[in-house]
């Protein structure tokens, strides 16, 4: 199976975690796009979605799924989202699509995080995928120096030759060369640095379930 087919497989499999009559939390990315397409087949059974990005909002609305502001909803039963890496404890690196801040917000208001990913995303230690960090632009150079002290090499993410601007009007730095052996401590530490909006380690808002697309079908990992 191709990676695209594996993404479609887990997108479809995630439907069984959607609670009829409720609002579902929806992440961002190519795997989530498959989930959104599958969700459209049961749109009459749900109230709608809280979305983690402008891109997902556009896709949801185009398919006729109502999108609620996260402030309108106290809590969600489930949040479905992809990951750039997930370890065997359910800790993740996220933000490859630059939506990490809103993803962490929606994950925090959800009782269960169901990660959908193809098997290439499962790792023993987080850090091979360049770690996305959303930063306030005036702090970028300082944050990059702090990562250098940790042994990482940070670069500002560009789009069309200019720093990419997130849905929140901030920038992203991607950090290579880290080995994140204690994701909870790492997330807590980096989150305290002045100017860091969100670090792409999801250890405090980790997954409880991962639907992993493999050549032999969908494996369900629970954490």
CB of 99 to ligand 5RP, least distance (A): 4
Interface with ligand 5RP, residue 94, by CB under 6 A: yes
Catalytic residue among 54, 72, 74, 103: 103
Distance CA 215, CA 205 (A): 28
Interface with ligand 5RP, residue 157, by CB under 6 A: no
Residue 103's nearest CA partner among 5, 213, 212, 204 is 204
DSSP symbols for the chain? --HHHHHHHHHHHGGGGSPTTSEEEE--SHHHHHHHHHHGGGGGGS-EEEESSHHHHHHHHHTT--EE-GGG-S-EEEEEE--SEE-TTS-EE--TTS-HHHHHHHHHTEEEEEEEEEGGGB-SSBTSSPEEEEE-GGGHHHHHHHHHHTT-EEEE-EETTEE---TTS-EEEEEES--BS-HHHHHHHHHTSTTEEEESEESTT--SEEEEEETTEEEEEE-
Please answer whether residues 56 and 27 qualify as being in contact, where contact means their C-beta atoms are separated by less than 8 angstroms. Answer: yes
**How many residues can be counted in the chain?**
223
Give 6 or 73: the residue with its C-beta nearer to ligand 5RP: 6
Interface with ligand 5RP, residue 85, by CB under 6 A: no
Give 94 or 143: the residue with its C-beta nearer to ligand 5RP: 94
Interface with ligand 5RP, residue 51, by CB under 6 A: no
CB of 20 to ligand 5RP, least distance (A): 25
Footprint (CB under 6 A) of ligand 5RP, residues 99-118: 99-100, 103
Distance CA 167, CA 69 (A): 14
Interface with ligand 5RP, residue 183, by CB under 6 A: no
Footprint (CB under 6 A) of ligand 5RP, residues 9-28: 27-28
Give 140 or 198: the residue with its C-beta nearer to ligand 5RP: 198
Task: Tell me, residue by residue from 112 to 151, as one string, x for binding to ligand 5RP by CB under 6 A and - for no binding.
Answer: ----------------------------------------
CB of 120 to ligand 5RP, least distance (A): 9
Interface with ligand 5RP, residue 30, by CB under 6 A: yes
Interface with ligand 5RP, residue 29, by CB under 6 A: yes
Instruction: For residue 103, indicate whether it is catalytic.
Output: yes
- State the catalytic residues: 103
Positions that interact with ligand 5RP (CB under 6 A): 27-31, 81-84, 94-100, 103
């Amino acid at each position: 199976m191709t990676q695209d087919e594996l993404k479609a497989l887990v997108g479809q499999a995630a439907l069984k975690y959607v609670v009829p009559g409720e609002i579902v939390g929806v992440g961002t990315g190519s795997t989530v796009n498959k989930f959104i397409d599958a969700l459209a087949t049961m749109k009459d059974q749900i109230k709608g979605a809280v979305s983690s990005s402008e891109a997902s909002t556009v896709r949801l609305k185009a398919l006729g799924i109502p999108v609620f502001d996260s402030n309108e909803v106290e809590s969600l039963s489930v949040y479905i989202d992809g990951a750039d890496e997930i370890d065997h404890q359910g800790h993740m690196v996220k933000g490859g699509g630059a939506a990490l801040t809103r993803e962490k917000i929606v994950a925090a208001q959800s009782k269960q995080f169901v990660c959908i990913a193809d098997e290439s995303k499962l790792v023993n230690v987080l850090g091979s995928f360049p770690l996305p960090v959303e930063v306030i632009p005036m702090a970028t150079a300082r944050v990059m120096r702090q990562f250098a002290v940790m042994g990482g090499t940070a670069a500002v993410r560009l789009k069309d030759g200019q720093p990419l601007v997130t849905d929140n009007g901030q920038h992203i730095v991607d950090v290579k060369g880290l080995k994140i052996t204690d994701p909870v401590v790492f997330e807590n530490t980096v989150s305290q640095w002045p100017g860091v909006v969100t670090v792409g380690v999801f250890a405090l808002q980790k997954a409880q379930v991962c639907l992993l697309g493999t050549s032999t079908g969908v494996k369900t990992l629970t954490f």
